[in-house]
Chain A
Amino acid sequence: SQTIHQWPATLVQPVGSPLSLECTVEGTSNPNLYWYRQAAGRGLQLLFYSIGIDQISSEVPQNLSASRPQDRQFILSSKKLLLSDSGFYLCAWSAGVRYDYGYTFGSGTRLTVV
C-alpha cells in the first residue's frame, strides 16, 4: 500500500534562518506531488506541484522553493524565513494524469517563525 511521510512534525525557527521540509511517498512510482500551506484562516493554499521529477510549478510567488531530487521525494525550502511563513504545511500526492483519483496528505508540519 502507498504511504506518505512528512517531517518534521513541528518546527520553531528564527526569522532569517533557512528551512527544509521533506516529504516522501512509498509504494508507488511517478506520483504527482503537492505542497500546501494552511494559515490561521484555515484555507489551503497551493504552493507547488510536481507531475514529474523535472517538472515543478509554483503557484504563489514567495521566498519558498521546492525541489524533487528523487521520484518520490519532495522538498520545500527557504533560504531566509519570514514571520509570514508561519503556518501548517501539508504535503500530498496523487496518482494518474488522465483521471483524478484524489489526494493523500501527509501529517503536516507546524512551522512557527519567531
Chain B
Amino acid sequence: AQKVTQAQTEISVVEKEDVTLDCVYETRDTTYYLFWYKQPPSGELVFLIRRNSFDEQNEISGRYSWNFQKSTSSFNFTITASQVVDSAVYFCALSAATSGGSYIPTFGRGTSLIVHP
C-alpha cells in the first residue's frame, strides 16, 4: 500500500523567510512518481512538479526547490524568500502503477503555509 505523510499541518512564517515543507512516502514499487501541488484559497489544485523514482536530481525553479532522497523516502519542498502569495495548502502525492497498469495517486493531508507580511 502507498502512503504519503506530511507531518507539518500548518507552518507560519514572515515574508522573506525560507521555509521547507516535508514529505515522506512509503511504497513497495520500484517505479513510482512524486508530485507537489499547490491549493490557493480559490480551491483549485495547481501542479508544481513531477519526479519519477529513477531521477533523484534535485530541481530548482525560481524560488522553489525540491530535494528528492530515495534513501530516506523523502521529497521535500523549499520556498526561498517566501512571499504572501505563497500562502496556500501544499500537497505531496505519490503514484505507482496498479495491476491494470494505470496510475492512481495517493495524496498527503497537506501542509497549510501562512506567510505574514
> A and B bound?
yes
- Interface positions of A (Cβ within 8 A of B): 32, 41-44, 46, 49, 51, 88, 90, 92, 94, 96-108, 110
How far is B42's CA from A106's CA once the two chains are assembled, in angstroms? 11
Q: How far is the CB of A90 from chain B (nearest CB, A)?
A: 7
The answer to whether B91 and A44 touch across the interface, beta carbons within 8 angstroms, is yes
Given A41-B109, A105-B44, A108-B43, does the pair A97, B35 have CB atoms closer than 8 Å? no
The answer to whether B35 and A102 touch across the interface, beta carbons within 8 angstroms, is yes
Given A32-B102, A49-B104, A51-B100, does the pair A42, B109 have CB atoms closer than 8 Å? yes
The answer to whether B109 and A101 touch across the interface, beta carbons within 8 angstroms, is no
The answer to whether A43 and B35 touch across the interface, beta carbons within 8 angstroms, is no
Q: For B43, what are the chain A residues with a Cβ–Cβ distance below 8 Å? A: 88, 90, 107-108, 110
Q: For A97, what are the chain B residues with a Cβ–Cβ distance below 8 Å? A: 101-103
What are some 7 contacts across the A-B interface (CB < 8 A)?
Answer: A43-B110, A44-B107, A46-B105, A94-B103, A105-B37, A105-B45, A107-B42
Chain A residue nearest to B103 (CB atoms) is A100
The answer to whether B33 and A100 touch across the interface, beta carbons within 8 angstroms, is yes
Q: What 6 pairs across the A-B complex have the smallest Cβ distances?
A: A100-B103, A44-B107, A105-B45, A43-B109, A100-B33, A51-B102
